[in-house]
C-alpha cells in the first residue's frame, strides 16, 4: 500500500499535532508555520479520546472535522490516530476493571496515560468501536493519508498481571500447548515441585518468593506481546472495514531500553513500519545506538523504507536531567535515520505544550515561538529533506547481517542467568559499533529472514535458537558465507531448555568447538587475550572454557586464532576459526573483546569474506 501521500512524493516531514490543546486562532498560525517549515504531514488525535467521545457512545467530531479541513486546505496530509491510546476518565470511572495491575497486585490508576489492561474486554470493545467510528467518519476525507492505531503499545501498560490477564494467559497456553503434559514439559515443572494438574492453577508470574520459573516468565512475555497485537489487529480490522485503501501503521519503539514487544511478529500486520526513537546523549554510545536502532527498524521492515514517526528536536523531559541538544544535532540525527532507510521524519510534537506532563519536552515550535533558533533549525531541516526527494523509496544495500531476535533477548535476560550484568544488546551493539567505525553497513535482521544474500553473518548472543534458524546459519556457511558466532549463542531451545553435550549445542558442529563451562566476568573485571593479530587485547563480561574436539567432527578442524593469556583459562582458545569445504568460514568468539580487538577481528572476518572495510 502506498505511503506516498504522507511523504508528499519525497521524504515526509512533520510530527504529532495536538490542536485540542490550543485555542482556534493558534491553529491558523500553526498551518502557516507548517508551510514555512516544509511540513508534509502531521499525526493527529493520538490522545484525543476524551475530546472526541465525550460520554459513552457520544461523539463530538466538529473540532476534528475543522482540523482535518484546515490541514487539507494547507496541503498537509494526516496520519490519523484512532485516538485510543488513553481512555477518558468517564470510561475508567464506569469500568475500573479496565485498569492494569502490576506484578505486586497494585492497580495502576488513571491520571497519567495508557492506564488500560491489554486483556480487558470492556476496553477492547470501546477502543474497537471508536476506531470504527473514526474510520467511518474520515475514510473519505481528502487529508487522510494513513491510519495510526493507538500509540506506542506497551510503553506503560505491559506487563499487566490482573485476573483477566490470568484467564487470557490460560487460553493462550491452551492454544500453544494443547494439554498440560506439554506445558509441564516446556516449563520444566519437575523442578521445585511446580507440576500443574489443572490449567486453572496457572497464574501470571506475579511477585514470587525467589527466582520464578524462567519459561513461565518467557511465555508471559510472548503472551503479553501477543495480547496487544490482538488488540492492534482488532482496531486495524475495524478501520479497514470502512477505509480499505489507506495504509495502517502503529509506532514501534526500537530504543535499547524498550523490550516489551516482538516487533518481528508485529511487522507482518502493519502496512508500513514506523518507529519512535529518542537519542539519549548521556548513554555511552548515543550515535551508535541510533544507528543500530535504525538498522534494526530496517530489518523489521524487511528492507523497505520506514517511517521515523517521532524523535525530539531538543530535550526530552523523562530523564532526571534533560540536556538540550546542540543546534545541528537534530539535522545530523535525522539525516542519519534517512541514510539508514527512513523516508519520513517526524517529531513529538509540533507545538510545545503549555501545560501537562510534557510541557518541558521540546517540540518543533518551542515555548519561545517561531522566532527562535530551534524553529529556524526545524525550517532548515524541512528545506533539506525537501531537497532529498530523489532518494525517497531507495533501499540500503548491505553485505553483512547481524542476527537479532527479541525472543532470544527475553530468554537471555530471564531470571538467574550466568551473568545478569550482561545485557542481550551489549554484544550486537558492540559488533555494530565496530562495523560502523569501519564504515561497514550491516542489516540487523531476524534469524528467520532470508540470509542467503549476505557475505558475512554475525550471530551475537543468540541464546535460544529455533532449530530451523540454526540450520539456516549453517546452510549459509556451507554455501560460502563467513559466519561469526559469539558466546552465549545456541545454548538453549526456544523453551529455554539447555542443549546438552557441551555448549553451544546448536552451533557446536558448525564451529567445531565445545565449551564445558562458562567463566563469566564480574562487572569491571577483564581478562587478557591475544588479539587476532599480534596485538594483545582484553575480554569483558564473559569467558569460557573452549576446546577444539579432534575426533567428533566431520571435515576440517577449527584453528585457534586467539587465546586467553591470564586467569583460570590462560592458554585456552578465546577465538577460533574453521574453514568449511564450500569456502565458508565459521568463527567463534568466546568473550566480549575491547573495541580495538573487536575491530581487528571484524577486519579479518570482512577481509576473508571480501567485504571492503
Ligand atoms: C513517546 C510518545 C509521545 C511522547 C514522547 C515524548 O513515548 O509517543 O506521546 O510522550 O514519547 O518523548
All three cell numbers of 435: 562495523
* Smallest CA separation from ligand 1 atom 11, residue: 348
For the cut 90, the answer to whether the pLDDT of residue 554 exceeds it is: no
Ligand 1, atom 8: closest residue by C-alpha = 152
Looking from the CA of residue 253, the nearest atom of ligand 1 is 7
- Specify the DSSP element, H or E, that contains 167: helix 163-177
Question: Cα–Cα distance between 549 and 142 in angstroms, integer?
Answer: 68
In a shared domain, residues 371 and 427:
no
Residue 234 lies in a domain: no
Answer yes or no: do 440 and 527 share one domain: yes
Q: Domain for residue 74, yes or no? A: no
Q: How is residue 297 written as a grid cell?
A: 527498524
Q: Is residue 39 part of a domain?
A: yes
Q: Which of 84, 276, 314, 350 to mutate to test the pocket of ligand 1 (most atoms within 8 A of CB)?
A: 276
The pLDDT tens digits for 328-341 are 999 999 999 999 99
Phi, psi of 277 (to 5 degrees): -140, 120
Answer yes or no: do 299 and 444 share one domain.
no
Q: Are residues 382 and 517 in the same domain?
A: no
Confidence of residue 8 (pLDDT cuts 50, 70, 90): confident
Q: Among the three residues 376, 393, 410, which one is the final residue of a domain in this structure?
A: 393
The mean per-residue pLDDT over the stretch 157-172 comes to 97
* 73 among known catalytic residues: no
Look at the block and give the residue holding cell 567485504. Answer: 611
The percentage of residues in the chain with a pLDDT greater than 90, rounded to a whole number, is 95
Q: Is 393 helix (H, G, I), strand (E, B) or coil?
A: coil
Decide if 225 is inside a domain. no
Residue 180: per-residue pLDDT: 98
- For a ligand 1 pocket test, name from 46, 152, 158, 309 the mutation site with the most ligand atoms within 8 angstroms of its C-beta: 152
Does 6 score more than 90 pLDDT? no
The total of structural domains in the chain comes to 2
Instruction: Kindly report which listed range (25-34, 57-66, 83-92, 278-287) carries the lowest average pLDDT score.
Output: 278-287
Task: Choose one of 378, 393, 408: the last residue of a domain.
Answer: 393
Q: What is the CATH number of the domain that holds 408?
A: 3.40.50.880
Radius of gyration of the chain (CA): 26
149 domain-assigned: no
Dihedral class, residue 579 (left if φ above 0, else alpha if ψ from -120 to 50, else beta): beta
Band of the pLDDT at 527, cuts 50, 70, 90?
very high
Q: Do 449 and 521 belong together in one domain?
A: yes
Q: What percent of the chain has pLDDT over 70?
A: 99
Do 423 and 378 belong together in one domain? no
Question: Is residue 212 in a domain?
Answer: no
Indicate whether 212 pLDDT > 60. Answer: yes
Beta strands 526-530 and 482-486, pairing class: unpaired
Is there a domain that residue 307 lies in? yes
155 CA closest ligand 1 atom index = 7
Domain match, 414 and 371 both: no
Final residue of a structural domain among 393, 424, 447? 393
Q: What is the pLDDT of residue 7?
A: 79
Question: Cell numbers 539535522 label which residue?
Answer: 331
Mean local confidence (pLDDT), 260-275: 97
Would the pTM count as exceeding 0.95?
yes
| 491 has pLDDT over 60 | yes
Full residue range of the structural domain in which residue 499 is found: 400-609
In this prediction, residue 240 carries a pLDDT of 98
pLDDT value, residue 257? 83
4 pLDDT more than 70: no
- Would you say 483 and 476 are in contact if contact means Cβ atoms under 8 Å apart? yes
Q: What is the pLDDT of residues 340-356, one digit of tens each?
A: 999 999 999 999 999 99
Q: Inform me whether the pLDDT recorded for 174 exceeds 90.
A: yes
What's the mean per-residue pLDDT of the chain?
96
Domain match, 385 and 431 both: no
Same domain, 433 and 341: no
Q: How confident is the model at residue 129 (pLDDT cuts 50, 70, 90)?
A: very high
Q: Is 525 a catalytic residue?
A: no
Residue 553, pLDDT above cutoff 70: no
How many Å lie between the centroid of ligand 1 and the Cα of residue 525? 37
pLDDT band at 2 (very low <50, low <70, confident <90, very high): low
Q: Are residues 464 and 568 in the same domain?
A: yes
pLDDT band of residue 448 (cuts 50, 70, 90) is very high
Proportion of the chain in helix, strand, coil states, percent, rounded to 5: 35, 20, 45
pLDDT of 246 above 70: yes
CATH of the domain at 33: 3.20.20.80
Ligand 1 neighbour 264 (Cβ under 6 A)? no
Q: Is the pLDDT of residue 3 over 70?
A: no
Torsion of Cα atoms, 147 then 150 then 154 then 159, to 10°: -130
474 and 573 in a single domain? The answer is yes
Residues 528 and 416 in one domain: yes
Atom of ligand 1 nearest to the CA of 318: 12
Q: Is residue 63 domain-resident?
A: no
Answer yes or no: are the C-beta atoms of 90 and 55 closer than 8 Å.
Answer: yes
Residues 6+ apart with CB under 8 A from 455: 399, 400, 481, 482, 609, 610, 611
How confident is the model at residue 552, as a pLDDT?
63
Amino acid at each position: 500500500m502506498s505511503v506516498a501521500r504522507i511523504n508528499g512524493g519525497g521524504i515526509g516531514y512533520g510530527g504529532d499535532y495536538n490542536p485540542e490543546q490550543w485555542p482556534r486562532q493558534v491553529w491558523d498560525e500553526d498551518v502557516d508555520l507548517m508551510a514555512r517549515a516544509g511540513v508534509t504531514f502531521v499525526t493527529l488525535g493520538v490522545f484525543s479520546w476524551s475530546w472526541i467521545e465525550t460520554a459513552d457512545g457520544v461523539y463530538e467530531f466538529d473540532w476534528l472535522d475543522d482540523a482535518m479541513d484546515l490541514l487539507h486546505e494547507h496541503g498537509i496530509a494526516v496520519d490519523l490516530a484512532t485516538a485510543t491510546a488513553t481512555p477518558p476518565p468517564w470510561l475508567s470511572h464506569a469500568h475500573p476493571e479496565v485498569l492494569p495491575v502490576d506484578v505486586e497486585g497494585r492497580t495502576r490508576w488513571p491520571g497519567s496515560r495508557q492506564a488500560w489492561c491489554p486483556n480487558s474486554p470492556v476496553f477492547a470493545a470501546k477502543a474497537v468501536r471508536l476506531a470504527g467510528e473514526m474510520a467511518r467518519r474520515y475514510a473519505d476525507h481528502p487529508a487522510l493519508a494513513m491510519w495510526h492505531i493507538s500509540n506506542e503499545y506497551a510503553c506503560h501498560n505491559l506487563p499487566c498481571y490482573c485476573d483477566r490477564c490470568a484467564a487470557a494467559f490460560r487460553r493462550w497456553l491452551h492454544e500453544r500447548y494443547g494439554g498440560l503434559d506439554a506445558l509441564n514439559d516446556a516449563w520444566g515443572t519437575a523442578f521445585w515441585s511446580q507440576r500443574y494438574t489443572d490449567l486453572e492453577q496457572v497464574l501470571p508470574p506475579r511477585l514470587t518468593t525467589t527466582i520464578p520459573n524462567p519459561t513461565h516468565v518467557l511465555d508471559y512475555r510472548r503472551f503479553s506481546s501477543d495480547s496487544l497485537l490482538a488488540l492492534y489487529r482488532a482496531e486495524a480490522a475495524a478501520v479497514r472495514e470502512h477505509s480499505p485503501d489507506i495504509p495502517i501503521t502503529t509506532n514501534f519503539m526500537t530504543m535499547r531500553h524498550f523490550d516489551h514487544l516482538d516487533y518481528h511478529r508485529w511487522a507482518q500486520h502493519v502496512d508500513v513500519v514506523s518507529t519512535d526513537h529518542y537519542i539519549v546523549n548521556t548513554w555511552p554510545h548515543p550515535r551508535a545506538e541510533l544507528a543500530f536502532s535504525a538498522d534494526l527498524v530496517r530489518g523489521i521492515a524487511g528492507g523497505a523504507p520506514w517511517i521515523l514517526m517521532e524523535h525530539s528536536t531538543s530535550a526530552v523531559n523523562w530523564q532526571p536531567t534533560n540536556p538540550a541538544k546542540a543546534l545541528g544535532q537534530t539535522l545530523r540525527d535525522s539525516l542519519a535515520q534517512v541514510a539508514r532507510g527512513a523516508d519520513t521524519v517526524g517529531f513529538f510534537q509540533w507545538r510545545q505544550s503549555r501545560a501537562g506532563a510534557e510541557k518541558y519536552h521540546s517540540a518543533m515550535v518551542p515555548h519561545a515561538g517561531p522566532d527562535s533558533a530551534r524553529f529556524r533549525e526545524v525550517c532548515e531541516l524541512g528545506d533539506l529533506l525537501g531537497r532529498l526527494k530523489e532518494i525517497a523509496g531507495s533501499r540500503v544495500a548491505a553485505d553483512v547481517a547481524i542476527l537479532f531476535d527479541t525472543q532470544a533477548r527475553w530468554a537471555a535476560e530471564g531470571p538467574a542467568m550466568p551473568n545478569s550484568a550482561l545485557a542481550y544488546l551489549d554484544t550486537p551493539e558492540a559488533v555494530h559499533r565496530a562495523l560502523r567505525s569501519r564504515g561497514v553497513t550491516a542489516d540487523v535482521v531476524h534469524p528467520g529472514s532470508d540470509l542467503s544474500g549476505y557475505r558475512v553473518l554475525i550471530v551475537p548472543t543468540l541464546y535460544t535458537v529455533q532449530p530451523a534458524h540454526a540450520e539456516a546459519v549453517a546452510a549459509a556457511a556451507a554455501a560460502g558465507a563467513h559466519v561469526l558466532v559469539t558466546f552465549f549463542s545456541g545454548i538453549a531451545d526456544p523453551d529455554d531448555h539447555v542443549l546438552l553435550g557441551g555448549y553451544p549445542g546448536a552451533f557446536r558442529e558448525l564451529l567445531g568447538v565445545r565449551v564445558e563451562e562458562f567463566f563469566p566476568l564480574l562487572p569491571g573485571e577483564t581478562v587478557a587475550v591475544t588479539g587476532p593479530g599480534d596485538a594483545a587485547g582484553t575480554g569483558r563480561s564473559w569467558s569460557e572454557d573452549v576446546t577444539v574436539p579432534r575426533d567428533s567432527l566431520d571435515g576440517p578442524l577449527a584453528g585457534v586464532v586467539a587465546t586467553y593469556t591470564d586467569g583460570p583459562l590462560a592458554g585456552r582458545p578465546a577465538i577460533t576459526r574453521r574453514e568449511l569445504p564450500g569456502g565458508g568460514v565459521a568463527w567463534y568468539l568466546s568473550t566480549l573483546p575491547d573495541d580495538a580487538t573487536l575491530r581487528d577481528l571484524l577486519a579479518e572476518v570482512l577481509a576473508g569474506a571480501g567485504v571492503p572495510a
